[in-house]
Amino acid sequence: MRNRLSKILFVEDEPEIRFELKRFLHRYSSDVFIACNGEEGLSLYKKYTPDIVITDIKMPKMNGIDMAKKIKQISPNQTIIFTTAHSDNSYFLEAIEMQVDGYILKPVDLGLLKKKINDINKNMELERQKKLYESILDDVAQMQDTMLAVYDEHALPVFFNQKLLTFLGYASLSEFLRAHESLSKKFEINEDCFFPENTSDIDWIKEIKNIAVEKRIVSMKDSKIVESKFFLVSLSEKTQSKNMIVTFSEITSIVKERHQYMHEAHTDALTQIDNRARFNILFDKAIQRSKENQSDLSIILLDIDNFKQVNDHYGHAVGDNVLKLFTALILDNIRTIDSLSRWGGEEFVLLLPDTTLSNAKDIAEKLRLMIEKYDFGIDKKLTCSFGVTAGHNGDTTSESLFACVDKALYKAKNNGRNQVVISQ
């Protein structure tokens, strides 16, 4: 459920470690703030209130323990992870007493750090989801005018109230049953909604009883409009009569707000393509799919050369328009199964499923020439550098694959720009 990337404060006094981990952390964070000692870290914490603090323990000016104590005074529930060396035993014991959220021994295991960050992101998202559904349930509690159905002990419908019948477009329950085997036949398939494996009344009611209350959401269309509506399904079993009362409380506006939130969380505001958060999700899924299907997966990392000069010379408004034109050009020349994401600034990343390294190189070269010849509305030729790599049959991780393509792009930039470099 990685939806929104956390803000991370990373505090480390050793320059090499700071440099190594900064790029890595950017994969899992919308914002990474870097400090070289506890005093600087505390100042950045007060300014940006990050979600996660990752800090060395032994540092000059103010050590990680003292900084963490001051942070805990500000926010007692702040998530803090310590990185520590074996020689830091006295500090390490003090850190344990603080009951922080994790410890990682140096040299830092990137896989372990990734797992801890993902676990924290997941817990944060679950908490956000919990609050969202609590608000849904609060709203539902205030609703009296809801659609209602009553089922007997054999899960056969015995009553639909007038509001439900009107929504469905029928005058009576018997009329509805002549046309439909089950109410669940009106449910729509939607990734955010419950949809039964079996649509008989006895089966869908049994299925929905076995899922979490907050996930009992169904999508249906009424008899008058095309647009889908969303309902939270509530079940109330009456012991004496053995009847089951099922209510459908409309939460369409809440679901739409959630969809809008998810869209904004995963979309780059300027170019309207996937952002880094969405890329990370797609990348992990693509790796898994490559493994399951025993297929190739290629990735292209591209960076517009000297783009800062465009902003400096023409202004940011023109620069923004160039980025939009650049995005449109790429989208017009890739397949529908490919995905383009904005990694940040003038850097973009292409995921190419079922594509060999050789074919990916050809695609990158085609795009490079196209960009070089394209009129972006400025009197300056725009060029682009490309890094290309590929995984085979899911035999790699997203971290190692991205590290390869990142090195290839770095080489393309250092070798004079406006070229394609592959990494095998």
The DSSP annotation for 243-290 comes to -EEEEEEE-HHHHHHHHHHHHHHHB-TTT-SB-HHHHHHHHHHHHHHH
227 vs 394: CA distance, rounded Å:
40
CA-to-CA separations, 321 to 75, 313, 315, 367, 377, in angstroms, rounded: 41, 14, 10, 19, 9
Which residues, in sequence order, are bridge partners of residue 31? 7
| pLDDT for the residue numbered 131 | 66
- What are residue 149's phi and psi, to 5 degrees? -130, 145
Please give the Cα distance from 162 to 147 (Å, whole number).
Answer: 8
Measured CA to CA, the distance from residue 326 to residue 333 in angstroms comes to 11
Start-end of CATH 3.30.450 domains in the chain: 143-256
78, β-bridge pairs: none
Digitized pLDDT (tens) for each residue of the chain, 424 residues in all: 344 567 899 999 998 888 888 888 888 777 899 999 999 999 999 999 898 999 998 888 898 899 999 999 999 888 899 888 766 666 666 666 677 777 888 888 888 888 888 888 888 877 776 665 554 444 434 444 789 888 888 888 988 988 899 999 999 999 999 999 899 889 988 877 888 887 677 788 888 888 888 889 999 988 777 778 999 999 887 655 578 889 998 888 888 888 788 878 889 999 999 999 999 999 999 999 999 889 999 999 999 999 999 999 999 999 999 999 999 999 999 999 999 999 989 999 999 999 999 999 999 999 999 999 999 999 989 999 999 999 987 667 888 999 999 999 999 999 999 999 999 7
Could you please state the CATH topology (level 3) that the domain comprising 267-423 is classified under. Answer: Alpha-Beta Plaits (3.30.70)
All CATH 3.30.70.270 domain ranges of the chain, comma separated, are 267-423
CATH class of 6-122: alpha beta
- CATH code of the domain occupying 143-256: 3.30.450
pLDDT at 113: 86
pLDDT at 209: 87
**Where do the CATH 3.40.50.2300 domains begin and end in the chain?**
6-122
Q: Residue 360: which H helix or E strand, with range?
A: helix 357-373
